[in-house]
Amino acid sequence: MDNKQNDKKGPQNRQTLVIFIIITLLTFAAMTFFSSMFMEARSKKITYTEFLDMVEKGEVKRVEITPTQINIEPKKQPSKFVEIIYYTGVLEDEDLLDKLDAKGIDYDGKIPDSRSTILDIIFVYVLPLVLIWIMFGFIMKRMSKGGGVMGVGKNNAKVYMDKETGVTFKDVAGQDEAKESLQEVVDFLHNPGKYTAIGAKLPKGALLVGPPGTGKTLLAKAVAGEAKVPFFSLAGSDFVEMFVGVGASRVRDLFKEAQKNAPCIIFIDEIDAIGKSRDSRYGGNDEREQTLNQLLAEMDGFDTAKGVMILAATNRPEILDKALLRPGRFDRRIIVDKPDLKGRLEVLKVHSKDVLMDDSVDLEEIAMATSGAVGSDLANMINEAAILAVKNGRRYVNQADLFESVEVVIAGKEKKDRVLSEKEKRTVAYHETGHALITALLKDAEPVQKITIVPRTMGSLGYVMQVPEEEKFLMSKDELMARLVTFFGGRAAEELVFHTVTTGASNDIEQATNIARAMVTRFGMSDKFGLMALESVESQYLDGRTVLNCGEETAAQIDGEVMAILRECYEKAKKLLSENMDVMKALADFLYEKETITGKQFMEIFHRVKGDSSEEECHTGSGAQES
Ligand code: ADP
């Protein structure tokens, strides 16, 4: 490949030289043309007779006699803007000086000035040449940096090269399994001889798979940091250009550059941008396919013994081309999933290391309240809390700041300027109380942390914040049903109190429908279909989109089944609330007035109104809810 590159360089240099010569010649031609035009405009030839005539009439101010011509400066210039010098040839006129003396005209001869000739040559010829050379070199450099005309062609991998990432596994919280798998990679890079001695081939690439923000890039950097090798990073989309062949050449350059710097790590983020399956299902694209082919070829071609390791990240592994995943390419798949409770706690600890916090802070509680959050969310929450503390004039972050920032990250900032009408505010108060009351009434439900009816920037008019007592990985059918009942608590409250319904429940309805549908099609929880898989998940790490695997008739029946489940849960919600109207009213009134109610206040009112005896009447069931 190197030879080919050199071959290519030869003609390229010749071409550069030709372009340079052409530009220089053109510049000279232009300069000569313009300077002669200028000179011509300034000097005018006259005949010797005319000259003598001018002398006679006293129109001449000064005369300069050179061996080849006589330059005549007239007394009166025809125009104010241009100074014209007349000239004429030299004749053997012995009386000339007498005539000039007679008229009192100043005259002079001219000594050829060798010094000024050299300066003239420097200024007129050499300096412009040097300037052109410098400008030309600068333009060529810009062009080759950007990759030729209009910046197309070369890779910009170097821009993202990190000699030392400075990140280690200590900076990546949780993700223990991923770290364990990557520890091997670090070892390969550290000591490739150990593996080659025994005859083992080193792996070429590993694919980091997981939802956005779980720390895939961070892990890749940590591998480079642990192994103390340079880190080349590029996003898949950096390869893709409008012009066919550009991506491929970028891949080539990237690998060449990396091999020069071996041992090192190449990290390709969002590899799905180029690694999409080549079958037409996801839409074909010549440029992308060529880039992918080049990547495949490069991965086969390079020698792992040198210690180049490719890490790639994606959150859509299902659309990757199979050829990319076969042994010898990205054959290792490392799952970097959303952190569990322990993982979240560790992420919070890592990011709060340098944040000043007071004694009220209990990160475990925050970790509990942030089920489903990924590493980047948690990092963001800690930062928001710190900003909040500063805003409130405190020098330490407290637990309230952290909870507030959890809300900001989940639901957006409070939108204080949105003023709800009295009726709307009351509706929202009852809606949120409906959710929370059902949570409290169902025995297994998670305790309510806080309810608020201050509108938030992300669109919600109010919400119930819950903190589960423990993290759950499995949900029973009863728990799911209880969840559905809780989702409908808001709508049921509206209907019971106002005898009408509003648009406020749309999100609840959507989420409830998703759960009910999954129960029927994926969890085998409907009596009608039993253990039949009717849907499969397509993009597990992104939106969890599903595709239906059944006939139209079955699809219609699924809808019927989902409808029945939802209806049953809604009726249950209405029943529960109608039996506790007095508690609901007390809670909603409090919420209407104060706009926020904490879990403690909520339970106080709940117990006070219901009375001690009613605690025993609590309906059984289970669930969790968010509004
Ligand atoms: P991804 O590449 O998976 O989308 P990143 O690695 O870019 O996510 O993570 C974004 C940011 O989130 C990181 O810079 C880091 O601050 C934080 N983060 C994510 N996961 C973790 C983790 N496991 N430990 C510590 N910080 C994390």
Atom of ligand 1 nearest to the CA of 175: 23
Taking the CA atoms of 616, 621, 626 and 627 in sequence, report the sign of the dihedral they define.
negative
347 C-alpha vs ligand 1 centroid, how far in Å? Answer: 9
User: What ranges make up the beta strands (E) of 75-229?
Assistant: 85-89, 106-109, 205-209
pLDDT exceeds 70 at position 268: yes
Q: In terms of CATH, what superfamily is 158-335?
A: P-loop containing nucleotide triphosphate hydrolases (3.40.50.300)
| Ligand 1 pocket check for 566: Cβ under 6 Å | no
What digits encode the pLDDT tens for the residues 208-247? 988 888 889 899 888 888 888 888 888 877 777 656 667 7
Atom of ligand 1 nearest to the CA of 172: 24
> 8 vs 127, which has greater pLDDT?
127
Question: What's the pLDDT band for 256 if we cut at 50, 70, 90?
Answer: confident
Relative to the CA of 171, which ligand 1 atom is closest?
A: 25
Q: Is the CB of 304 under 6 A from ligand 1?
A: no
Is the CB of 380 inside a 6 Å radius of any atom of ligand 1?
A: no
pLDDT at site 564: 94
User: Is residue 218 lining ligand 1, measured as CB closer than 6 Å?
Assistant: yes
Among the ranges given (8-12, 291-295, 326-330, 580-584), the one the predictor scored with the smallest mean pLDDT: 8-12
The residue whose C-alpha atom lies closest to atom 27 belonging to ligand 1 is 375
Q: For residue 186, how far is its CA from the centre of ligand 1 (angstroms)?
A: 19
User: 382 CB under 6 A from ligand 1?
Assistant: no
Nearest CA, atom 15, ligand 1: 376
Lowest pLDDT segment from 164-168, 204-208, 412-416, 497-501: 412-416
- 502 pLDDT exceeds 60? yes
Full strand arrangement of the beta sheet holding 463-466: 463-466, 448-452, 596-598
| Cα 340 to ligand 1 centroid, rounded to whole Å | 15
Percent composition of the chain: helix, strand, coil (DSSP 3-state, to 5): 55, 10, 30
The closest-lying atom of ligand 1 relative to the alpha carbon of residue 343 is 23
Domain edges within the chain: 2-115, 158-335, 341-410, 422-626
Four-way CATH pick for 341-410: 1.10.8.60, 3.40.50.300, 3.40.50.2300, 3.30.450.20: 1.10.8.60
Q: Assess whether the C-beta atom of 211 lies below 6 angstroms from ligand 1.
A: no
pLDDT, one tens digit per residue, over 585-609 is 999 999 888 888 888 888 888 888 8
Q: Whose CA is nearest to atom 6 of ligand 1?
A: 215
**Measuring from atom 9 of ligand 1, which residue has the nearest CA?**
215
Atom of ligand 1 nearest to the CA of 173: 24
Indicate the range of 100-109, 215-224, 462-471, 518-527 predicted with least confidence. Answer: 462-471
Ligand 1 atom nearest 221 alpha carbon: 6
Place of tokens 């076969």: 326
Residue of 165, 167, 209, 218 to test ligand 1 pocket, by largest number of atoms within 8 Å of CB: 218
| pTM exceeds cut of 0.85 | no
- Cα of 377 from ligand 1 centre, angstroms: 9
Whole-number pLDDT of residue 518: 92
- Provide the pLDDT for residue 562: 94
- Assess whether the C-beta atom of 212 lies below 6 angstroms from ligand 1: yes
pLDDT, tens only, 19-35: 778 887 887 788 778 87
User: Could you tell me the distance, in angstroms and rounded to a whole number, from the CA of residue 242 to the centre of ligand 1?
Assistant: 31
Ligand 1 atom at minimum distance from 208 CA: 3
Pocket of ligand 1 contains residue 350 by CB under 6 Å: yes
Rounded to the nearest angstrom, the distance between the alpha carbon of 270 and the centre of ligand 1 is 14
Q: Is the predicted pLDDT of residue 410 greater than 80, yes or no?
A: no
Sheet holding 332-335, edge to edge: 231-235, 264-269, 308-314, 205-209, 332-335
According to DSSP, residue 40 is labeled: H
Cα(520)–Cα(596) distance, rounded to whole angstroms? 37
Contact between 468 and 368 (Cβ < 8 Å): yes
Ligand 1 center to residue 366 CA distance, Å?
18
Check if the beta carbon of residue 439 is closer than 8 Å to that of residue 445. yes
What spacing in Å lies between the alpha carbon of 98 and ligand 1's midpoint? 98
Residue 492 is predicted with a pLDDT of: 95
Tens digits of residue pLDDT in 49-79: 988 898 888 888 888 888 888 888 888 877 7
81: pLDDT strictly greater than 80: no
Sign of CA pseudo-dihedral 161, 166, 169, 173: negative
- List residues with catalytic annotation: 432
331: CB partners within 8 A, 6+ apart:
203, 204, 205, 325
Closest CA relative to residue 363, chosen from 372, 350, 354: 350
Substitution candidate for ligand 1 out of 376, 377, 378, 542 with most atoms within 8 A of CB: 376
2-115 CATH pick, 3.40.605.10, 2.40.30.10, 3.30.720.210, 1.20.120.430: 3.30.720.210
Confirm or reject: Cβ of 249 under 6 Å from ligand 1: no
- The pLDDT mean for the chain works out to 80
CA distance 316 to 319: 6
- Residues 546-563 have pLDDT tens digits of 888 888 889 999 999 999
From 153-162, 197-206, 465-474, the region with the lowest mean pLDDT: 153-162
pLDDT tops 60 at residue 139: yes
Query: Which class is domain 422-626?
Result: mainly alpha
